[in-house]
């Protein structure tokens, strides 16, 4: 192992004296839980955008939305994750502020050559306390915001999808959008009562609005419903096709009546903008 480190140093860098390694430091030099030349940057956190339907048709479903946010999404936030919550109203283009917003601090890398383990543990304890406070603040805010169902007359779901595309346009995190809605579009030329939710309606939407750019975005839809089981099935298929045409990462198990399986699997969603990573040689130079 020491020979391997030495060879890495000899490539165009001269021959600095290597520090003596023993115990845990010797183990981390092999790439176990850490790296002797500094840990890799942590994987990107989740950038979670939640749309909450505040229209009158969702009164029966509102507790499902509340439980999804308060019991699953907010408590499930991890280090480096961000949460933003927006309402779905009669015109999402007029929304100018989030119902709630918070970002958890990411886990700092641990360098086994230069960082003191006790100092690092103290730093992590303070970071975890800070993140717990952010989660609690989000919970308190959303409990107040979701105390009563919304009363908006119409539902602008297509506008919400376009807004998601804009908010994720240059995302370096893993983008995830969650629609807490009965998915009954009811605005302008698209009215829930007159839509059949078949290919004809999908083509009409494409001609009227186009499809938003949701490439690499993980999509969940929670609460699709109508008075008819058959109509609900058609609605689920319609929205699944709509998001597929938008390039989103979506599968039938993401179209659910209640949010049970959370957080999203690792393969769902990926950064839309990737940062250039330094080579192993750059990391060694940084240490020297």
pLDDT beneath 70: ranges in the chain:
1-41, 92-94, 275-288
Domain that holds residue 242: 46-256
Same structural domain, 111 and 146: yes
Give the pLDDT confidence score for residue 276 in this predicted structure: 61
Same structural domain, 19 and 129: no
For residue range 219-238, list pLDDT tens digits in order: 999 999 999 999 999 999 99
Question: Whole-angstrom Cα distance, residue 107 to residue 237?
Answer: 39
Q: Concatenated DSSP letters for 87-116?
A: EE-S-GGG--S-SEEEEPPPPPP--TTT--
Give the pLDDT confidence score for residue 91 in this predicted structure: 74
> Residue 95 domain-assigned?
yes
Same structural domain, 14 and 84: no
- 61: domain CATH number is 3.40.50.410
Give the pLDDT confidence score for residue 101 in this predicted structure: 97
For residue range 151-180, list pLDDT tens digits in order: 788 889 999 999 999 999 888 999 999 999
My answer on whether omega of the bond before 113 falls inside 30° of 0, hence cis, is no
Beta carbons within 8 Å of 119's beta carbon, 6+ residues apart:
none
The total number of structural domains that make up the chain: 2
| Dihedral (CA of 183, 184, 186, 189) sign | positive
Question: Whole-angstrom Cα distance, residue 123 to residue 159?
Answer: 42
> Residue 38 domain-assigned?
no
């Amino acid at each position: 192992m020491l020979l391997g480190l030495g060879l890495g140093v000899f490539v165009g860098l001269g021959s600095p004296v290597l520090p003596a390694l023993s115990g845990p430091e010797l183990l981390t030099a092999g790439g176990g839980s850490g790296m002797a030349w500094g840990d890799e940057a942590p994987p990107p956190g989740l950038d979670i955008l939640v749309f909450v339907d505040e229209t009158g048709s969702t009164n029966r479903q509102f507790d499902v939305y509340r439980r999804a946010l308060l019991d699953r999404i907010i408590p499930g936030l991890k280090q480096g994750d961000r949460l933003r919550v927006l309402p779905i109203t009669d015109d999402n283009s007029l929304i100018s502020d989030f119902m709630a917003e918070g970002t958890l601090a990411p886990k700092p890398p641990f360098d086994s050559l230069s960082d003191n383990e006790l100092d690092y543990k103290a730093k992590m304890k303070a970071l975890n306390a800070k993140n717990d406070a952010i989660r609690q603040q989000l919970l308190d805010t959303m409990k107040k915001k979701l105390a009563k169902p919304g009363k908006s007359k119409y539902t602008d779901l297509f506008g919400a999808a376009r807004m998601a595309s804009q908010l994720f346009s240059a995302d370096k995190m893993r983008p995830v959008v969650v629609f807490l809605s009965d998915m009954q579009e009811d605005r302008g030329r698209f009215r829930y009562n007159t839509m059949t939710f078949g290919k004809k309606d999908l083509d009409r939407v494409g001609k009227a609005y186009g499809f938003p750019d949701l490439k690499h975005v993980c999509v969940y839809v929670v609460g699709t419903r109508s008075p008819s089981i058959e109509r609900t099935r058609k609605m689920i298929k319609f929205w699944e096709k709509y998001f597929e045409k938008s390039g989103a990462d979506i599968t039938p198990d993401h179209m659910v009546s209640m949010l049970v399986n959370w957080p999203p699997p690792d393969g769902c969603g990926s950064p839309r903008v990737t940062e250039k990573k330094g080579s192993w040689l750059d990391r060694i130079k940084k240490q020297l």
